[in-house]
Amino acid sequence: MIRHEFSVSPELAGQRIDKVLAENLTDVTRSFAQQLIEQGLVLCNGKKAAKSLKVAVGDSVVCEIPPPQNTEIIPRNIPLDIVYEDDVLLVVNKPKGMVVHPAPGNPDGTLVNALLYHCHGNLSGINGEIRPGIVHRIDKDTSGLLVVAKDNAAHLALSEQFAVHSITRVYQTVVYGGFREDDGFVEGLIGRHPVDRKRMAVVNKNGKYAYTAYHVEARFRGFTHLSVRLKTGRTHQIRVHMASIGHPVAGDAVYGPHKVLTQLQGQCLHAGTLGFIHPSSGKYMEFQSELPLYFTDFLKQIQKE
């Protein structure tokens, strides 16, 4: 364990403990600070801190950070669709079927393996996990845009934008059913499913607030093409929210109907727009990704039907 100890300064008095940790400790984001608090690794004045704790001037804060997992990730010469790249970050267009980072069941052939090869190992390495450069994730069977950090300063700056929900993220999806109105939204808490812990669900308590806005792009018999704008970024947020209102994402084997559309080989969901403030220049940048072939082929199919 790496031990950090500090006293709360006057300028941080009244702030939540997770923000105070992120401000005081190098290479710690607010989301990682929250994980440390949940694990009981943060003390305030000798007592385990709650995530909702607001500190006072002079409070003594002690934090223990586990060392990174000693897991070797081998760089792989896997082709990447790079939309933008500079000295501190790159934006990648991830294909459907590619896992973002190594995990049990997917130890190799991931986006991280490809990034390590492309960037010659020059990626950020924060949060105590072996997920070099990864600021945010999208599911294996979701395609589209991801921003990747090459150094820790860029990683922290981008992570803060995600934490305050200032990132622009617009997805394209096809869902079951029709909509009377052209625009709408879904909001509520998302947490672990009370029975199936591998799934997420809209819950009444012990979840995180999530907001999803949608706009009808086109209507078909039995399906609707939507653009979906995320205010928050919870695990499986779009898939869970759309299923909760009776419009699951086409091809979704987890949250969709029992008879899944196998020709899609996963959910019909594409991260098509990504915008953020560049960590170095301070300028807003926005990127677009065209609909991939699997998506356009499905649109043509349901249009004929």
Cα 3 off chain centre by? 28
Taking the C-alpha atoms of residue 277 and residue 31, their distance in angstroms, rounded to an integer, is 19
CB 96 within 8 Å of CB 33: no
252 is catalytic: no
Q: CA nearest 115: which of 82, 155, 68, 70?
A: 82
Taking the C-alpha atoms of residue 165 and residue 231, their distance in angstroms, rounded to an integer, is 6
Residue with tokens 């500190």: 55
Taking the C-alpha atoms of residue 98 and residue 138, their distance in angstroms, rounded to an integer, is 10
From the list 59, 139, 141, 252, the catalytic residue is 139
Q: CA nearest 251: which of 101, 98, 95, 96?
A: 96
Query: What angle separates helix 30-38 from helix 152-163, to the nearest 10 degrees?
Result: 80
Active-site positions? 139
